[in-house]
Amino acid sequence: MAVDREHILHSAAALLTRKATSTMDEVAKAAGISRATLHRQFAGRDALIRALEELGLSRLEAAVDAARLDEGDAADAVRRLVTEVEPVAGVLAFLVTENQLFESEGMNEGWSRLDARIEALFRRGQESGEFRVDLSATWLSEALYGLISSGAWAVQDGRVAAKDFQFMIVELLLGGVRRSA
């Protein structure tokens, strides 16, 4: 039977986001596999954490590409971005909240690329007059990461309907970021 590595990583992210001290046994159980199978895929906890970071960054970059951040007005680009990120929101929540697990040796270059692209979107919205200029593009990017993470947790815990994920995040973010007339 083939092991679905991505399923293991998504299960690990969901568990580790809620309980960073989870053991490899608990990760295996959450993924519905044996500890031996988990160890065949990941030599140890550090390898698992690194794989989560790589999966998350590659999926986030693909979402940013698919969102076409340079097209149309900035608010519509934010909507597309949230829609595209939704399938990987749980992994993003893990990466955002537990970054101390893997950033001890410095920030991954992938984060720098993503941050630059998302900040450019918010700067574009500021320059076009759509978005407030009293909040930095860096802060708006961090707020977006936080809202996506919170939305992922709320959906995962069943407190919010999955169908409301995009609407809740976009409306709250854009409601606070739009420039008043």
Domain spans of the chain, in order of start: 5-177
* pLDDT exceeds 90 at position 72: yes
CATH 1.10.357.10 for domain 5-177, yes or no, is: yes
Per DSSP, the residues of 8-76 read HHHHHHHHHHH-TT--HHHHHHHHTS-HHHHHHH-SSHHHHHHHHHHHHHHHHHHHHHHHTTTSS-HHH
- Facing residues of 178 across strands? 131
- Average pLDDT rounded to a whole number, residues 21-31: 92
> What is the rounded (10 degree) CA torsion for 119, 93, 53, 58?
-60
> How far apart are alpha carbons 115 and 60 in whole angstroms?
11
* pLDDT exceeds 80 at position 128: yes
* pLDDT exceeds 90 at position 153: no
- Average pLDDT rounded to a whole number, residues 60-81: 96
- pLDDT band at 10; cut points 50, 70, 90: confident
- pLDDT band at 168; cut points 50, 70, 90: very high
Contact (CB, 8 A) for 38 and 24 = yes
* pLDDT exceeds 90 at position 13: no
> How far apart are alpha carbons 169 and 122 in whole angstroms?
15
The pLDDT of residue 112? 87
Between residues 19 and 12, the one the model is more confident about:
12
User: Which of 14-18, 87-91, 147-151, 160-164 has the least mean pLDDT?
Assistant: 14-18
pLDDT tens-digit series, residues 82-119: 999 998 888 888 887 766 555 556 667 888 899 999 99
The pLDDT of residue 137? 96
User: Which of 57-66, 74-83, 90-99 has the least mean pLDDT?
Assistant: 90-99
Tokens of 127: 């320059």
Q: How far apart are the two ends of the chain, measured CA to CA in Å? A: 60
| Average pLDDT in the chain | 88
